[in-house]
Amino acid sequence: VDSLTTMPSGAGKISCLNAVVLGEALASEVDELVFPSHHFSSQALVPSPQKYLEIYQRSIDDPAGFWSDIASQFYWKQKWPQPAVSENLDVREGHVYIEWFKGGITNISYNCLDRNVEAGLGDKVAIYWEGNDLGSDATLTYSQLLQRVCQLANYLKDVGVKKGDAVVIYLPMLMELPIAMLACARIGAVHSVVFAGFSAESLAQRIVDCKPKAVITCNAVKRGSKPIHLKDIVDAALTGSAQQGVSVDVCLTYENQSAMMRESTKWQEGRDVWWQDVVPKYPTTCDVEWVDAEDPLFLLYTSGSTGKPKGVLHTTGGYMVYTATTFKYAFDYKPSDVYWCTADCGWITGHSYVTYGPMLNGASVLVYEGAPNYPDSGRCWDIVDKYKVTIFYTAPTLVRSLMREGDQYVTRYSRKSLRVLGSVGEPINPSAWRWYFNVVGDSRCPISDTWWQTETGGFLITPLPGAWPQKPGSATFPFFGVQPVIVDEKGVEIEGECSGYLCIKGSWPGAFRTLYGDHERYETTYFKPFPGYYFSGDGCSRDKDGYHWLTGRVDDVINVSGHRIGTAEVESALVSHPQCAEAAVVGVEHEVKGQGIYAFVTLVEGVPYSEELRKSLVLAVRQQIGAFAAPDKIHWAPGLPKTRSGKIMRRILRKIASRQLDELGDTSTLADPSVVDQLIELADH
Ligand code: PRX
């Protein structure tokens, strides 16, 4: 295991320890195969391993032909010239680039809406919206959604948003969020959705980076019984970005009356505009801006191993084909399905599997505004029964937290409509998997444990329900066209049963094309560690049957309740506190969240520890990043374990954080080994 801790070619140290150990633990827990029922398999799109292997083989033998056939099912104003793909993924042979269907002209919003309406789905429900408060709900058919999208698109054009311009969207899960995404896409504008749990500072940082023509938000949202004034956060962010030289002329604000009335909203005349006052006045039709398959569709910022978030850029054509296809197969989609993904559109899951993937398939999508445990832990199943949800897709952290509340919250609802369950965002431990399968799904519904990332655009490793027997906790096998490889620390592919770093050989249409404004970081982070491959940043084991077991990040990124957070971001928020001299953050196992945030903090000389200071440090992180990144534990550290060259030895900090004190390993290379004893002494202070 220790040999896995060094990255090749001097790219820096990474820790694979937890990952590999966890992988072994997971694998040893598993001794069963869970077979899909005959009834399920017989109606499934991919009914058997043989069928999967047949399609998979073709996708690998002829990726361009395979994806071209699928792409042809969409509307293209002009077809792409052959070949469908052009790429270089090997940094040793020049700059990395990936192009799919380049030269093809299309529009993803048209394919989500107009194409479905023309195919006769105009009266089909596109969005079932369920509000936070019981009894508040609404629906939009595909025709109505198209009209709403067109009105907003016309407004945006009118205020000067043009093809290629960025628009920042900071909205909760109102229908207006997918409407805003689709409106941007319709006019070729590049949306950058920022999760509405991010702080003003994080929002400002993203605004400064992408310089949007407009910001779209709402005045407030209720989470549970508490209203949160989103517009105040946007105001602060716009002031902050203006101070950094980026001013935004338009702030379109939706009045969310269920949370707050417009009279109590702070307002800047000239810049701020009420959505309800302007958008409905625009025509309900709007010409489409036809774009190249490789024109940018959206930016989505995600955490990496430095303090600066990365602007992941996805383009139009390949992303469209990939999200639609993965959605269809991984959930065994049928036109009669009612699909609910609990993710927020502020994350990639909400982009690919609330908005684009499902709508490209003409699916009825449920959008829920509120918290999954409001007013109590049965809310999800209440919603499932109310709308007869057939496909339910969520994160393991929610499964674990509901599991703790007890089966009675689940079993008092029928859940008969459910057919397929999904999991995403972090490894699902076998006991949570079994509870999800047995209790939520009444041992009837296959679970699609989909492994993927913001960068990958769509699923890379996922079960296809009905095709394979499942193993609780394994994401199983690659999607069509995807070639996962597990490499050792030297970047050499390991065959058969093994553990190592998960890389991908070749490209797939949904892959991101660059990091906005920083192609060099794109190459360095993803393609240089193991030349010739895309490096995912995850550890993975493959068992004797070829099943894949994702074991967590091997870099300085932690995964808290399925939210990706860079330890460096939390550290930089902590050290911005005037009384904090130094901070080191590591992830620790957490029963519900998967990983918790554990921060070692050294105070400025002479400042005493206090409970109050602890709170104000946590507050600094909430204010700079968002509440979801608040540390679970602040561990006072008179000093941090450093090598003689000054590098913090996180391996030791991880062991102290998880109280594995007999596994500290060699501490003799530390500049001052006594630091470790001091830290252990202070562990429970
Ligand atoms: O560590 C993996 C974990 O989430 C990371 C990607 O995070 P993000 O870009 O925010 O996207 C989350 C939603 C796709 C991965 O590097 N991850 C995601 N899905 C799984 C997972 N780990 C294990 N099993 C999964 N199904």
- The per-residue pLDDT for range 132-143, each reduced to its tens digit, is 999 999 999 999
Mean per-residue pLDDT over the chain, rounded: 93
Which carries the bigger pLDDT value, residue 251 or residue 257? 251
Residue of the nearest CA to atom 13 in ligand 1? Answer: 425
- pLDDT band of residue 6 (cuts 50, 70, 90) is very low
Query: Could you read off the pLDDT of 424-455 as tens digits, one per residue?
Result: 999 999 999 999 999 999 999 999 999 999 99
Structure tokens that stand for 450 in this block: 């989909």
With beta carbons less than 8 A apart as the criterion, state whether 407 and 434 touch: no
| Token pair recorded at residue 617 | 């440090």
Nearest CA to ligand 1 atom 26: 451
Question: What distance lies between CA 643 and its chain's CA centroid?
Answer: 35
User: Measured from the CA of 536, which atom of ligand 1 is nearest?
Assistant: 16
> Other CB atoms closer than 10 Å to residue 243's CB: what's the count?
11
Residue 329 pLDDT > 80, yes or no?
yes
Which residue has the CA at smallest separation from atom 24 of ligand 1? 427
Q: d(Cα 294, Cα 680) in Å, to the nearest integer? A: 53
Q: Are 257 and 72 in contact (CB under 8 A)?
A: no
Q: Region 152-172: what's the mean pLDDT?
A: 98
Instruction: Report CA(627)–ligand 1 centroid distance (Å).
Output: 20
Q: What are phi and psi of 41, to 5 degrees?
A: -60, -40
The pLDDT, as a whole number, for residue 644 is: 87
Cα–Cα distance for residue pair 66/446, rounded to 1 Å: 27
Q: What is the pTM of this model?
A: 0.93
DSSP assignment of 510-526, as one string?
Answer: T---EETT-HHHHIIII
Give me the pLDDT at residue 425, please.
95
What's the rounded Cα separation, in Å, for the pair 316 and 189?
A: 11
Closest CA to 323 of 451, 464, 183, 459: 459
Alpha-carbon torsion, ordered 281, 284, 289, 293, to 10 deg: 130
CA–CA gap between residue 585 and residue 599 (Å, rounded): 4
**Cα gap 75→267, rounded to integer Å:** 42
3-state secondary structure of 177: helix
Are the beta carbons of 253 and 274 closer than 8 angstroms? yes
Tokens of 269: 């005349």
ipTM of the modeled complex: 0.99
Sign of CA dihedral 242, 246, 247, 253: negative
Catalytic residue, from 295, 337, 543, 555: name it.
555
Q: Is 684 a catalytic residue?
A: no
Residues 6+ apart with CB under 8 A from 675: 638, 639, 640, 641, 642
